[in-house]
Amino acid sequence: MFAWYLCAMHTSEASPARPGLRERKKRQTRERIAGVALRLFAERGYDQTTLAEIAEAADVSTRTIFGYFESKEDILFCDEPAYFEQLKQMLDQRAPGVTTIDALREFIGAINQPDENALLRKKIVRSDEALRLAERARFAQAEQMIAESITRDLGSGPGDIRPSIVAASMTAAFTTMRDRIEAESGEPISHEQAMALLDDVLEFLRGGLEGLRAD
């Protein structure tokens, strides 16, 4: 999906029940490791930063890091699992008559401005072609969710490739427009620019989907 933008944001959601002390400490440790790693990636470079250096800066052992993350890449993209779960819930639980595009617009519209770590993560990924490719590969999961949701919109049967094509088109359209804006300005796309692009692209895709449903 729109990895270049969405992974730099945080969705608004109701506060869950307060976790116990042990769970809070685990969460704090995980967040400390991730925050320290992001700062080191930005200062020294992603490839040049080792897990041992992250452990030392976070005042934990390397073994402790592996208790929370499988790799440096997992640390960098640590917000993705929660994002994917929220997206899946939104698409699976949409009300009758609400299309995939309607649900996506509502989901993305509820996204808050990025915090410091999110902006730092976006900068790190943007500066490294290999990380941009890794981000896109990891977002295949989200694209698959969208394709499955569009399948329900169209009432498609097995073997229908149209939902996958539409989902891939969303990613391609946003990425192309984002790259053009950032190439002209030299700066990451803003929240306002992203939302304007979102509306333009989704409106275009809405027309295409309505045409497919009419066939």
Residue 166 belongs to some domain of the structure: yes
Q: Reduced to 3 DSSP states, what percent helix, strand and coil does the chain have, rounded to the nearest 5?
A: 70, 0, 25
Point out the domain boundary residue: 75, 91, 116.
75
- The pLDDT of residue 180 is 67
Closest listed residue to residue 114, CA positions, set 87, 85, 139, 79: 79
100 pLDDT band, cuts 50/70/90, is confident
137 pLDDT band, cuts 50/70/90, is confident
Same structural domain, 142 and 59: no
181 pLDDT band, cuts 50/70/90, is low
Output 25-32 pairs: Cβ under 8 A, ≥24 positions apart: 26/68, 29/60, 29/64, 29/68, 30/68, 30/78, 32/58, 32/60
In CATH, what number is assigned to the domain containing residue 101?
1.10.357.10
Same structural domain, 94 and 70: no
Same structural domain, 174 and 204: yes
Same structural domain, 117 and 173: yes
Same structural domain, 93 and 159: yes
pLDDT of 15 strictly over 60:
no
Residue 26 belongs to some domain of the structure: yes
Same structural domain, 93 and 70: no
Mean pLDDT of 196-209: 72
Same structural domain, 108 and 172: yes
- The pLDDT of residue 30 is 94
Cα 205 to Cα 99, 144, 146, 163, 176, distances in angstroms: 12, 17, 13, 12, 15
Point out the domain boundary residue: 41, 56, 75.
75
Residue 202 belongs to some domain of the structure: yes
* Element holding 75 (H helix, E strand): helix 72-76
Same structural domain, 141 and 184: yes
Same structural domain, 97 and 185: yes
Same structural domain, 71 and 142: no
Residue 15 belongs to some domain of the structure: no
Residue 117 belongs to some domain of the structure: yes
- The pLDDT of residue 63 is 95
- The pLDDT of residue 75 is 95
- The pLDDT of residue 1 is 41
- The pLDDT of residue 46 is 95
- The pLDDT of residue 185 is 59
- The pLDDT of residue 124 is 92
Same structural domain, 39 and 129: no
d(CA 52, CA 36) in angstroms, rounded, equals: 12
In CATH, what number is assigned to the domain containing residue 28?
1.10.10.60
Ramachandran bin of 109, using left for φ above 0, alpha for ψ from -120 to 50, beta for the remaining angles: alpha
Residue 14 belongs to some domain of the structure: no
- The pLDDT of residue 215 is 60
Q: Which tens digit of pLDDT belongs to each residue from 147-157? A: 999 898 888 88
Mean pLDDT of 154-180: 79
- The pLDDT of residue 198 is 72
Residue 107 belongs to some domain of the structure: yes
Residue 96 belongs to some domain of the structure: yes
Residue 123's domain spans which residues?
Answer: 3-9+78-214
pTM of the complete model beyond 0.85: no
Domain count, the chain: 2
Q: Could you tell me if 142 and 77 are in contact, meaning their C-beta atoms sit under 8 angstroms apart?
A: no
Residue scoring higher pLDDT (195 or 7): 195
Same structural domain, 66 and 117: no
Cα 59 to Cα 15, 36, 63, 154, 171, distances in angstroms: 29, 10, 12, 52, 39
